[in-house]
């Protein structure tokens, strides 16, 4: 068991305090409870006790970073109902995948501000649809401002884990993500080595660039199909401080879909001084190992705490989750069991 209570290496400034590790990171905010990436989703996560919030970043046509997972907007906003934006519908190939719809890169911030957010998975999370239409698309600047206010109000520094989406694609369309990112961080005085800010991407090139320009933590994201061999981890160690691994890389499932024994990834990463965050832990049955499901409804809540407990036992440094309240509760139980 590696649960400890210690001073965060990231914490700094007036709101620095003891923080719990492993960290609970709210994936796109408390996206199990609110439409993802909205200020409401982030605030809810902070209220639930999340140590950090995770946000994905893409660029508008005029170079403003906004919190969205997809370049295409119709899955998570009401863009399709906006007659004034109908002419912007088109087909676009991004990283080899052809998509049709409305793309953030084609809209100015002013145009994006006319949209409202909606739930990505209405069949799985019907309750969240009651928030559809109530909030707009948030800019990175707005999220950082909100984090500053909430941190001061609660007396603890809430962290941000920023994922840069499709950086090479953004480079090719003349909207590189680096400059607006560093500008926004500097505006909020979050560009110093003690800021609780982590920069993440699946693409090593932008992480190498940013590692050369900042002292912030850098995390290399790994897909389920990636092979974190010793050689691969050595390469990552050249520019990154940690890895953000698909949960199956730490806790593989057996052929029947049940939770299996932990891999050696945490040990191998820690030997190199690399941290390990795991994504994405979700409470609904359809996302859980078969042995942690409750009943047969794929949208019903299963035993997510069981998966978190197994990840904590495997020694991870952070759990990235749509349900931060469940992860915080599981962590509290682990701390209590360890006598803290
Ligand atoms: O935090 C990493 C995780 O968010 C990566 O997956 O697709 O949810 O951005 P995705
Ligand atoms: Ca992400």
pLDDT (tens digit per residue) in 145-174? 999 999 999 999 999 999 999 999 999 999
3 pLDDT higher than 70: no
- Closest by alpha carbon to 160, among 197, 190, 191? 197
* 285, 293 Cβ separation under 8 angstroms: yes
- Closest by alpha carbon to 87, among 107, 69, 71? 107
11 pLDDT higher than 70: no
Structure confidence at residue 21 as a pLDDT band (50, 70, 90): confident
Which residue has the CA at smallest separation from atom 1 of ligand 1?
279
| 161 CA from centroid of ligand 2 (Å) | 9
Least confident range from 14-18, 75-79, 325-329: namely 14-18
Structure confidence at residue 103 as a pLDDT band (50, 70, 90): very high
Average pLDDT for residues 85-109, to the nearest whole number?
97
Task: Supply 27's token pair.
Answer: 């994936």
Distance CA 121, CA 338 (A): 37
Structure confidence at residue 15 as a pLDDT band (50, 70, 90): very low
In ligand 1, the atom with minimum distance to the C-alpha of 165 is 9
Peptide bond into 280 cis (omega under 30): yes
Residues around ion ligand 2, judged by CB within 5 A, are: 56, 163
| 83 CA from centroid of ligand 2 (Å) | 30
Neighbours of 277 (CB within 10 A): 24
The CATH number linked to 199 is: 3.20.20.190
What is the number of domains present in the chain?
A: 1
Average pLDDT for residues 34-50, to the nearest whole number?
98
* 235, 207 Cβ separation under 8 angstroms: no
| 18 CA from centroid of ligand 1 (Å) | 27
| 11 CA from centroid of ligand 2 (Å) | 22
Name every protein residue with a CB atom under 6 angstroms from any ligand 1 atom: 27, 54, 56, 69, 163, 221, 244, 279-280, 320
Residue from 25, 26, 27, 319 to probe ligand 1 pocket by mutation (most atoms less than 8 Å from CB): 27
Percent with pLDDT over 70 in the chain: 94
Q: Given this model, what pLDDT does residue 338 score?
A: 82
Give the residue numbers spanning the domain of 182. Answer: 2-337
82 pLDDT higher than 80: yes
Residue from 23, 24, 50, 56 to probe ligand 1 pocket by mutation (most atoms less than 8 Å from CB): 56
CA distances from 318 to 51, 190, 252, 256, 299 (A): 10, 21, 17, 27, 25
Q: What is the mean pLDDT of the chain?
A: 94
Average pLDDT for residues 134-146, to the nearest whole number?
98
239 pLDDT higher than 70: yes
Write the CB contacts of 175 (distance below 8 Å, at least 6 apart in sequence): 59, 61, 63, 105
Structure confidence at residue 17 as a pLDDT band (50, 70, 90): very low
Neighbours of 88 (CB within 10 A): 16
| 293 CA from centroid of ligand 2 (Å) | 25
- Closest by alpha carbon to 118, among 53, 31, 42? 31
């Amino acid at each position: 068991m590696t649960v400890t209570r210690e001073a965060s290496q990231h914490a700094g400034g007036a709101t620095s305090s003891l923080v719990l590790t492993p960290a609970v990171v709210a994936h796109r905010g408390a996206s199990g409870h609110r439409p993802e990436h909205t200020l409401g989703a982030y605030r809810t996560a902070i209220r639930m006790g999340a140590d950090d919030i995770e946000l994905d970043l893409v660029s508008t046509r005029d170079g403003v970073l906004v919190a969205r997972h997809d370049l295409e907007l119709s899955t998570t906003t009401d863009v399709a109902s906006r007659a004034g934006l109908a002419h912007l519908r088109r087909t676009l190939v991004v990283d080899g995948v052809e998509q049709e719809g409305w793309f953030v890169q084609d809209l100015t911030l002013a145009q994006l501000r006319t949209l409202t957010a909606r739930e990505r998975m209405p069949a799985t999370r019907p309750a969240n649809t009651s928030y559809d239409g109530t909030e707009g698309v948030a800019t990175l600047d707005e999220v950082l401002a909100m984090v500053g206010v909430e941190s001061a109000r609660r007396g603890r520094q809430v962290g941000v884990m920023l994922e840069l989406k499709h950086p090479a694609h953004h480079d090719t369309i003349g909207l590189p993500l680096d400059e607006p990112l560093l500008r926004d961080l500097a505006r909020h005085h979050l560009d110093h080595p003690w800021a609780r800010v982590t920069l993440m991407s699946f693409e090593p090139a932008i992480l190498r660039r940013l590692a050369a320009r900042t002292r912030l933590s850098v995390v290399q994201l790994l897909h389920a199909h990636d092979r974190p061999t010793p050689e691969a981890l050595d390469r990552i160690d050249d520019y990154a401080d940690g890895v953000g691994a698909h949960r199956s890389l730490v806790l593989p499932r057996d052929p029947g879909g049940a939770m299996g024994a932990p891999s050696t990834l945490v040990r191998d990463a820690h030997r190199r001084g690399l941290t390990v965050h795991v994504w994405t832990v979700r409470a609904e049955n359809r996302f859980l190992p078969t042995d942690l499901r409750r009943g047969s409804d794929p949208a019903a809540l299963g035993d997510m705490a069981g998966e978190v407990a197994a990840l904590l036992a495997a020694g991870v440094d952070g759990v990235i989750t749509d349900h931060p309240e469940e992860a915080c509760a599981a962590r509290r139980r682990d701390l209590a069991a360890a006598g803290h």
